[in-house]
Amino acid sequence: MSSQTLSFDFPNTAMPRGKLLRTYLTEAKYESVRALRAPAFAIPFLLLPIALYVLFGILLAGSVSHGDASISRIMFVNFSVFGVMGPGMFGFGAFVATERTQGLLTLKRALPMPKASYLLAKMVMTMLFSVMIMATLVIAAMAFAHTRLSISQFLAVAGIDILGSLPFCAIGLMIGTLASGKSAPAFVNLAYLPMMHLGGLFYPLPKSVQRIEFASPAFYLDKLGLRAVGAPSLDQLSMGAPTVHGGVAPMIYVFILAVVTPAFAALSIRRLQGGNVRRAVARD
């Protein structure tokens, strides 16, 4: 035994508010640290959006648009949505599924971790990634793209998309509560890829199937960003509408995204709280 003197006489188990705040901050810090250290997570989600944006959104689109600011703006907004979707969906989907199936979540539920700390930490981590992704996209757009946007417009898009990553966190969380650690990335992709492509981010959908866009939260987030920079969507552009037109009030988009988030989150949290029953039977 070492010289460390132990005393287990701490009858008071109350947690002062300052220490409770420290718990939340510590959880968020380590969640972010571990995500940044996980190469399979950090490298694709930090580098892919900027690499694809520069390649397709700036170089390729720039060469065909002949300096059309609308195209540049659409590309910036669409790649921003693509950028923030990934960390939210995979950060919650894959991490929660792994931690659920590998017992870490059960251990944390048994330990005196404040209930909200686990998900809040993941949310902070996701938003940190979103901030970093948006920073790289904004810098690239300001330096190389002909968006002719003001700094406040750039910041508006960044703000919308950073907050707009929350519905994707909630959808990812839902998958994380259903899938196993190994199958979660595949299931997240099954939701992520169609949501991205059917949201009309990269190409206009044929008119006959355009209504399917309404099923994708990416579509609504994209619309909000386009509104903020006064650009039409790819669909509108393909139909010969060079400027943004009336359509639905942006509050509707905000409302839909705001409903998706708590709905998926509430369903998922219910599942998480009763989630270890089968494990216990299997092990007993």
Partner 1 sequence: MNGDYLAELSGVHKRYGNTIALDGLDLQVRRGELLAVLGPNGAGKTTAISLLLGLQQPDSGSVSLFGQSPKRVEARRPIGVMMQEVALAEELRVREQIDLVASYYPNPLTPDAVLEMIHATPLAGRPYGKLSAGQKRQAQFAVALCGRPKLLFLDEPTVGLDVQARAMMWETLRQLVRDGASIVLTTHYIEEAEALADRVVVLAKGRVIASGTVNEMRALITRKHISCATSVTVDSIESWPGVEIVIRDRERLHITASNAEAVTRQLLNADSDLQELEVHRAGLADAFTELTQEVAP
Q: Taking CB under 8 A as the rule, does residue 209 contact partner 1?
A: no
Which tokens go with 86?
């990934």
Which of 17, 206, 246, 284 contacts partner 1 by CB under 8 A? 284
CB of 207 to partner 1, least distance (A): 47
Which of 47, 60, 114, 270 contacts partner 1 by CB under 8 A? 114
Q: Taking CB under 8 A as the rule, does residue 18 contact partner 1?
A: no
In which element (H, E) is residue 229 found? helix 217-229
Q: Of the two residues 121 and 145, which places its CB atom closer to partner 1 in the complex?
A: 121
CB of 90 to partner 1, least distance (A): 15
Are 62 and 146 in contact, with CB atoms under 8 Å apart?
yes
Residues 168, 199: Cα–Cα separation, whole Å: 13
If you ran DSSP here, which 8-state letter would residue 256 be given? H
Which of 143, 151, 209, 281 contacts partner 1 by CB under 8 A? 281
Concatenated DSSP letters of 29-53: HHHHHHHHH-HHHHHHHHHHHHHHI
Which of 17, 19, 211, 245 contacts partner 1 by CB under 8 A? 19
Residues 186, 45: Cα–Cα separation, whole Å: 16
Q: Of the two residues 116 and 239, which places its CB atom closer to partner 1 in the complex?
A: 116
Q: Taking CB under 8 A as the rule, does residue 38 contact partner 1?
A: yes
What are phi and psi for residue 170, nearest 5 degrees? -65, -40
From residue 52 to residue 91, the character string flagging contacts with partner 1 as x (rule: CB under 8 A) and all else as - is ----------------------------------------
Are 205 and 137 in contact, with CB atoms under 8 Å apart?
no
Q: Residue for token digits 């950090």?
A: 42
Q: Of the two residues 65 and 106, which places its CB atom closer to partner 1 in the complex?
A: 106
Q: For residue 59, which of 147, 138, 145, 134 has the smallest C-alpha distance?
A: 145
Residues 35, 45: Cα–Cα separation, whole Å: 10
Q: Residue for token digits 């998480």?
A: 272
Which of 102, 150, 180, 243 contacts partner 1 by CB under 8 A? 102
Which of 64, 110, 143, 209 contacts partner 1 by CB under 8 A? 110
Q: Which stretch binds partner 1 (CB under 8 A): 14-22, 184-192, 200-208, 212-220?
A: 14-22
Which tokens go with 270?
């219910």
Task: Give Cβ neighbours of residue 234 (< 8 Å, ≥ 6 apart).
Answer: 74, 78, 200, 201, 202, 203, 204
Size of the site for partner 1 (CB under 8 A): 42
Which of 43, 51, 60, 115 contacts partner 1 by CB under 8 A? 115
Q: Of the two residues 106 and 136, which places its CB atom closer to partner 1 in the complex?
A: 106
Are 57 and 75 in contact, with CB atoms under 8 Å apart?
yes
Binding site residues, partner 1, CB under 8 A: 1-2, 4, 6-10, 12-16, 19, 22-23, 26-27, 30, 33-35, 37-38, 102-104, 106-107, 109-115, 276-277, 280-281, 283-284
